[in-house]
Amino acid sequence: MGDLGPSARRFLDWLADAGVTLWQILPLVPPGPGESPYATTAALAGNPWLIDLEGLAAEGLLTAEDLVAPDFPLDDLDSQAMKAFKAPRLARAADALLAGAHPAFAKACEAFRKAHPWVDEAALFIALKADHDGQPWWLWGPGLPERDPAALAAARKRLAVEVEREAVLQFLFDHQWQALRQHAANRGIRIIGDVPIYVDRDSVDVWANRDQFRLDEAGNPVAVAGVPPDFFSDLGQLWGNPLYDWERMAADGHAWWVRRLRRARELTDFVRLDHFRGFAAFWEVPADAPDARGGRWVEGPGRALFDDIREALGELPLIAEDLGVIDEPVVALRDGLGLPGMRVLQFAFGEAPDHPFLPHNYVEHTVAYTATHDNNTTLGWWQDTSAHVRDHVRRYLAVSGQDVVWDMIRATFASVATMAIVPLQDVLCLDGRSRMNSPGVGEGNWGWRVRAQAFNTSLAARLRALSTLYGRAPAK
């Protein structure tokens, strides 16, 4: 699936050669169903499947024999095969560290756990979930859903080995990620992280903080999150996440959110707040609704949340993902906080000249995209879109459409937007078979892989030429 090792460093080297100074990533969390990074068992944790085994062997936690791997598909993730290979090796590495194979690492791991109390809670949750064959926490044995102290103590004792392993894996992930982030910084590249607004019901975040969510006595959501019908779905999107009890959160200065964003800033240089509009008003859907059409807008926490975050953490480099149904209160909150929003070029065409996503209507304090991870690739979009939209693209960009993907990249780079982000699939001119995610579709997403051969000097030169032309590349 790729990892945090030499291939990732080579990718960063290629980005630097291409004049790229920003790398936007998906959430780094343990992925949920369908390998989605927007559904996770632990929102503060790192994805242990990204741990580099070569790096563990170099530290004496694995042997050379452990690195002998079967052939995996080059273009798509085979998650079952990957996990079957990596799981026993990650367990062996964790056991080796716990057995004293690397005293310096053991000391650093202890310090990491002390500085991050959430690690032990997440490790216990993950171990308990495995012990219950993957069942959600509200179906666990007596006392555990309610977090009865005696039941928790017994579980920690019974699953001590598994809990320790999971905690060590969190340390190893963090150690490798921070090294990779430093490599990026050394190459002049800053990383944009991603914080989804909601968390999964079946997560340590809800299990350990039930009072922060709108749940009944049995732990069932009173209402769930989603969005109304939009560009992506006529039925809306029924996400099913439990909603926050914003009044309760405000009572302790939104401490839950402060912890979450503190962790995000430990991992990345910028933080993209997914579904920013939900902080102004969110779409509340009855828990038993079959789809999202029967929901209603409810006022969100607004500025009070961000004032508490700023008081605790200072000014944060946030990006507001302000897509979807955007009204004046959302704009007022975004602008009042001084946050840049997003403009997506694919959404601009076929509309009136005053459409805000057409580049001549951009403002400087914004982030421009050809597309996001939820869109089709630009080539796939071009192939599927209407003749009316294609005609508008040709006339607006003054192009023939023969090289439309790079024409769109050029328009994004040429805009006044402070930041310009292009999905890697667009840089490689890939069609819809390489799409990252189709919203509302539960399977077949998040599996795209890129081959190392893609990162060649000619492609880097083409990207650098545009970056230099429009003042986005650093001076050599």
Name the residues annotated as catalytic: 274, 321, 374
Structure tokens at 288: 């038993």
For residue 446, give Cα distances in angstroms to 75, 238, 373, 427, 441: 12, 19, 9, 18, 11
Kind of pairing between the strands at 190-195 and 270-273: parallel
Residues 168, 90 contacting (CB under 8 angstroms)? no
CA distance 84 to 217: 38
Instruction: Using alpha carbons, select from 292, 290, 281 the residue that is nearest to residue 236.
Output: 292
- Give the number of other Cβ atoms within 10 Å of residue 386's Cβ: 10
CA distance 269 to 190: 6
Contacts of 313 (CB under 8 A, 6+ apart): 258, 261, 262, 265
Structure tokens at 73: 């598909």
Structure tokens at 21: 């100074």
Structure tokens at 398: 């003054």
Contacts of 228 (CB under 8 A, 6+ apart): 236, 283, 292, 293, 295, 325
